[in-house]
Structure 1
Amino acid sequence: MILTINCGSSSLKYQLYSSDLTRVVAKGMVSRIGETGAHIDHSAGRERIHQDMVIADHGSAFRHVIDNLLHPEWGALTDIGLITAVGHRAVHGGDTFVDSVLVTDAVLRQLEACTPLAPLHNPANLLGIEEARRLLPDVPHVVVFDTSFHQTMPPSAHVYGLPYRFYGEHKIRRYGFHGTSCRYVSGLAGEILGRPVEDLRLVVCHLGNGVTIDAVAGGRSVDTSMGFGTFSGVMMGTRAGDFDPGLIFHLHSVLKLDMPEIERICYKESGLLGISGVSNDMRDVVAAADAGNERCALAVDMFVHMVRKQVGAFAAVMGGIDALVFTAGIGENSPYIRARIAAGLEFLGVEIDAQANADGNRKPALISPAGARTAVLVAPTDEEMMIARDTVRLAGSAHLLRLQDSPLSLLPAE
């Protein structure tokens, strides 16, 4: 079986797949690691359990995961040896990693070198990999990077207009995020349309608490809305999105805010929450807007405007658009936001069938009318499946290498 691991700074999500990836055998999440109120939610088949306990660190969390997977009542394994490979998510691979890779000591050192690029995420990702290798040392481990999908962007899209030395010497550039999701959704869009993704120009709208708009031409990322950090592009649940960088100097020199405070404002106090004053959850903001809250209405209007503007820009980058694709929490679950974004994009051939849109939540769906020049799709993302697929692909390579190195190799002669 294939185990996927996604470690955050205080959480650990996991899924256990059958070897052919057709079934999720078990899944769960360890929350509030190292904090009060730590707990585990685990499911396998019809069994659902919730456990409140002290979980000091990621090592302890991972041991509890294995204990639950092996549990005689609510587990899914009779032997830990049934796990044949482990896949891990890493947020930032810099420009070092252009694809998923088998984990080695050298890879871990390179991943650690990327930590300054994602100081909130990469350390937790590394902890998860190290603990999993400690408990499962005899199986291949694979790491999948959120940034690697965007490494196909041309320099004209990823280099900033700063002095070139910052790019050449310090790797300051546009990296982009949510790449694992965008890669999965791009392939799914091709399946929904019955066309090779290599023949398509897609604008993928990953709309959740975090937002990425991605231009995908021929199955390759050619431009993306997020940049060096994770608050640029469209405003998000608590993140600001694009604004004039001169404001940072103004906040510091005129309003006398220090840099940690400015960073906190940009990442945690802005976006839907900062504008609405109500919530970072689009559902709450839309409900309040419908009830007459003007700031919530403004927050929705701003979000829609910023997404629509980005779609138009990326259509221009690709010289046209074949499909507009909605995914992630808002994109998959809000017909209202999908319709609002599509309105005004008729010049690109974008139309929405109202009934198909209303029925199109949480499942692969074509929501544009028959004959529309540009297809509009709902394509539910599945980052864990993408991690599992890469794990199977690369773990298979590792297995073949071991066979070739073995004196008892029974590989057929060429």
Structure 2
Amino acid sequence: MPKSFVLVINSGSSSLKFAVIDSSTGEEVISGLGECFGLAEAVISWKHQGTKTQHEIKAKDNHHEYAIEQIVTLIESLGHSKQLVAVGHRIVHGGEKFTSTVRIDDKVLAEIDALSSLAPLHNPAGVKGIKAALNAFPSLPQFAVFDTAFHQSMPDKAFTYGIPQQLYKEHGIRRYGFHGTSHYYVSREAAKMLSQTVEESNIISVHLGNGASVCAVSAGRSVDTSMGFTPLAGLMMGTRCGDLDSGIIEFLIKKGWSQESVFETLNKKSGFLGVSELTSDARGILEAMEEGHKGAKLAFDVFTYRVAKYIAAYLVPLDKLDAIVFTGGIGENALPIRSEIIKNLKLLGFVEDAVANQAARFGQSGIIAKSELLGAVAMVIPTNEEYVIAKQSVELL
């Protein structure tokens, strides 16, 4: 049977991640990153069969287009161009318009662009990546997979804010949620590990990385999630504050802060970085904490406490709980963080298996704790968002 490869593109404002995925196995044939777009030091690098290669991006501008031209040359040089059947794009915001993966045409592209007011940093970059890929691969079908789509199954009571309905009707202000492809993937994998159908499983998915969110998944459908109108809400993250009394914004502006400086602080100078006054990287937090750094310990405590609180809260929308699933860079690898979160869930009966928790790292799945009280487990499952994008693109073919 011939292989069907999908080029998956995740286009950011100053970067472009890409991977060529075998849609039947999820194997990454090639993976790479273009970064520092707009700067003189712009580069593109990729990994193929364990070998990493890097090139300067010599174009003065149009770095997205140049990067994709390099990807085309790379795919052709490795002899994979005939196996490529589609291009899948990760798009951050689909609003209420897009509830599933769609094939891209002029109308879809215009609608993604029109949603830029909801994601001004992300959707314009996604559009730029799509246009470059359409020029580079005019004969290949291209698909958009939305971070927000999985959460469109949330009921009104979960996505509605306690604000005038006019703001929702006129401006679309509501909870949207993000990390949808990750929560979708690990909830399906968890059902397999539990020997259940997706329809009979109840999962709390905990995606912990530089961005972090929790999602309650009932019968395979998102019923609540911690991120909101923007990715700023919910858990404390690497540089984002998470949930915050909105009155603080008014307070700071009255103190003379500009609107830009307030949101620059909340998005880029808060979280691990702001609380620890040290670093936004969880690995740096853990290392400094071991050395007795008080700011790092406080950041660790705030983060793990908030995650546990959200997990406990998300028992409310579920009829029962089968599993808590840790995923994302921190969720998959940071042993002390998982241990502390489980410790904070002692009232729910969770008891850590220290040996299993130690083993479930660096790409390894496993059950790391159990609750006899709830008849549930905590497990680790490495996420694979690129595989979701590739698989859903091929399914639509």
**Residue correspondences, number:** 389
Q: How far apart, in 2, do the equivalents of 1:229 and 1:318 lie?
A: 24
CA contact (8 A) 2:208 2:327 kept: yes
Tell me the alpha carbon deviations over residues 271-307 of structure 1, each in whole angstroms, 9 at most, x when there is no partner. Answer: 0000001100111111111211111111100001100
**Alignment partner of 1:68 out of 55, 58, 74:** 74
SS at match of 1:143: strand
Tell me the alpha carbon deviations over residues 63-120 of structure 1, each in whole angstroms, 9 at most, x when there is no partner. Answer: 011112223xxx343xx34321111100000000000101111111111111000000
Distance verdict in 2 for CA 1:60–1:168, change over 3 Å: same
Runs of 4+ in structure 1 displaced over 6 angstroms?
Answer: none
CA root-mean-square deviation: 1.5
TM score, norm. by length of structure 1: 0.91
Distance verdict in 2 for CA 1:59–1:179, change over 3 Å: same
CA contact (8 A) 1:87 1:142 kept: yes
Is residue 350 of structure 2 the alignment partner of residue 346 of structure 1?
no
SS at match of 1:229: coil
TM score, norm. by length of structure 2: 0.95
Aligned to 1:407: none
Distance verdict in 2 for CA 1:22–1:172, change over 3 Å: closer
1:20 shift after superposition: 2.9
**Alignment partner of 1:29 out of 27, 33, 45:** 33
Amino acid in structure 2 at the alignment position of 1:299: A
Distance verdict in 2 for CA 1:172–1:370, change over 3 Å: closer
Distance verdict in 2 for CA 1:276–1:320, change over 3 Å: same
Q: How far apart, in 2, do the equivalents of 1:19 and 1:213 lie?
A: 27
Tell me the alpha carbon deviations over residues 311-362 of structure 1, each in whole angstroms, 9 at most, x when there is no partner. Answer: 1110122244221110001100011111100113133232220100011112
Identity of aligned residues (%): 40
SS at match of 1:194: coil
1:23 shift after superposition: 3.1
Is residue 390 of structure 2 the alignment partner of residue 394 of structure 1?
no
**For structure 1, which runs of at least 5 residues remain unmatched after alignment?**
396-414
CA contact (8 A) 2:305 2:344 kept: no
Is residue 191 of structure 2 the alignment partner of residue 187 of structure 1?
no
SS at match of 2:7: strand
Aligned to 1:378: 380
Is residue 49 of structure 2 the alignment partner of residue 48 of structure 1?
no
Q: How far apart, in 2, do the equivalents of 1:146 and 1:308 lie?
A: 23
CA contact (8 A) 2:351 2:371 kept: no
Is residue 368 of structure 2 the alignment partner of residue 367 of structure 1?
yes
SS at match of 2:344: coil
CA contact (8 A) 1:150 1:222 kept: yes
Amino acid in structure 2 at the alignment position of 1:14: F
1:197 shift after superposition: 2.0
Amino acid in structure 2 at the alignment position of 1:375: V
CA contact (8 A) 1:205 1:331 kept: yes
Amino acid in structure 2 at the alignment position of 1:358: Q
Distance verdict in 2 for CA 1:24–1:250, change over 3 Å: same
Q: How far apart, in 2, do the equivalents of 1:81 and 1:163 lie?
A: 54
Aligned to 2:243: 242
1:45 shift after superposition: 2.2
SS at match of 1:138: coil
Tell me the alpha carbon deviations over residues 24-44 of structure 1, each in whole angstroms, 9 at most, x when there is no partner. Answer: 222211111221211111122
Tell me the alpha carbon deviations over residues 144-195 of structure 1, each in whole angstroms, 9 at most, x when there is no partner. Answer: 0000000000010101111000011111000000001110111111111111
CA contact (8 A) 2:286 2:296 kept: yes
Superposed counterparts of 1:113-132, under 5 Å: 113-132=114-133
CA contact (8 A) 2:351 2:370 kept: yes
Superposed counterparts of 1:7-406, under 5 Å: 7-18=11-22, 20-55=24-59, 56=61, 57-71=63-77, 75-77=78-80, 80-253=81-254, 255-361=255-361, 362-369=363-370, 373-395=375-397
Bigger Rg, structure 1 or 2:
1
Q: How far apart, in 2, do the equivalents of 1:188 and 1:335 lie?
A: 21
**For structure 2, which runs of at least 5 residues remain unmatched after alignment?**
none
SS at match of 1:339: helix
CA contact (8 A) 1:321 1:348 kept: no
Distance verdict in 2 for CA 1:138–1:158, change over 3 Å: same
